[in-house]
Structure 1
Amino acid sequence: MPTLDLSDPLLATYVVAAALMALKVMGQGWMTVYRMMKSGAGLVNPEDLIPGPLNRAPDKAQLEIDDYVDRSRRMHRNDLENIPAFWVAGALFVLTAPALWLAQVLLFGFVAARAAHFVAYVTKQRHEVRATFYTIGSLIVIYMALHALWAVLA
């Protein structure tokens, strides 16, 4: 079994891209928490209405959908629908030893597409704008998965 060596630029490229996406997923969760605390709304569970240090005067209205909070939840859900596939397809792709330039274009291209998707979502751009960035990221993941399959089956 080959050893993993972070001095390998191909592996380092994947590690940087994968770590950035891990930070994106975790950061989105924290953004949702921040928005819930800032607005005092957007809670989702009945037990969230039990009084505590962060919610001293709970109100049933806090369980109603709040777009400010829910928008962040939707962005988080979208990340969770896309980024895990990137982690898997990206790792399999790197195992095929592609050209470094190709790996950098694809791996960092996905990161850029997700960043642009985030900006489009948080600034409430129309669906076609978000969909463009989603499509770019999705096609990158599909290509990497097919590349890995081709390398094994060819």
Structure 2
Amino acid sequence: MLLTTENPVFVTYMIAASLMILKIMGQGWMTVYRMMKSGAGLASPEDLRPGPLNRSPRAEQLEPNDYVERSRRMHRNDLENIPAFLAAGLLFVATDPSGILASVLMYGFVVARLLHALAYATRQSHEIRATFYSAGSLIVIYMAVHVLITVLW
């Protein structure tokens, strides 16, 4: 009964995981929005083919555009971090941890990722972004080590 909605730890995971999935998907859409708004930052040469959304493509649309690239970097960072949380979190649920520990870790990861995104979007220093990245990363590492300790000992 660990992976049912009757288990509050699994419900916590479901909420945190769903929020992070929405974060990944939303950041992808934000990148598209920024490309469309600026008419720049296209990623591939074939993007210069005329179409309903880009009737008069120009070669400079393939040049890097910080407005678009910032969103693209945020998306890449999510793709480098959130899948590890999704996997480690589910394995962590299977160890039947306490609800308080699970809530602190899982919601802590969500908050860390959202603060990281806010810091990135508002052009905060690397040190500030790294602080939020590190908090999320350490949470995932803790969950993975917890799983190993639980199953090996």
Q: TM-score range by the shorter chain?
A: over 0.9
Matched, 1:111 2:110: yes
Question: Deviations along 1:7-51, whole A, 9 cap, x unmatched?
Answer: 211110000000000000000000000000000000011111111
CA distance in 2, matches of 1:78, 1:152: 30
Q: Quick one: percent identity of the two aligned structures?
A: 67
One-letter amino acid of the structure 1 residue matched with residue 130 of structure 2: A
Counterpart Cα distance in 1 of 2:2 and 2:150: 20
Q: What SS is found at the alignment partner of 1:146?
A: helix
The verdict on how the C-alpha distance between 1:150 and 1:3 changes in structure 2, with shifts beyond 3 A counting, is: closer
TM-fit CA distance, 1:3: 6.7
Aligned match of 1:82: 81
Which runs of 5 or more structure 1 residues have no equivalent in the other structure?
none
Q: CA RMSD in A?
A: 0.8
Residue 147 of structure 1 pairs with residue 146 of structure 2: yes
How many residues were matched structurally?
153
**Deviation digits for residues 127-149 of structure 1 (CA, Å, limit 9, x no counterpart):** 00000000000000000000000
What is the CA–CA distance in structure 2 between the aligned matches of 1:15 and 1:147, rounded to whole Å? 19
1:47 is aligned to 2:49: no
TM-score scaled by structure 2? 0.98
TM-score in terms of structure 1 length: 0.97
Match of 2:69 in 1: 70
Q: How does 1:97-136 map to 2 (within 5 A)?
A: 97-136=96-135
Moved segments of 4+, more than 4 Å: none
Partner of 2:8: 9
| Aligned partners of 2:112 and 2:133 also within 8 Å | yes
**Counterparts of 2:93 and 2:146, CA distance in 1:** 10
Kindly provide the amino acid, as one letter, of the partner of residue 86 in structure 1. F
Letter in structure 1 aligned against 2:51: G
Residues 53-83 of structure 1, C-alpha deviations (whole Å, 9 max, x = no match):
0001100000000000000000000000000
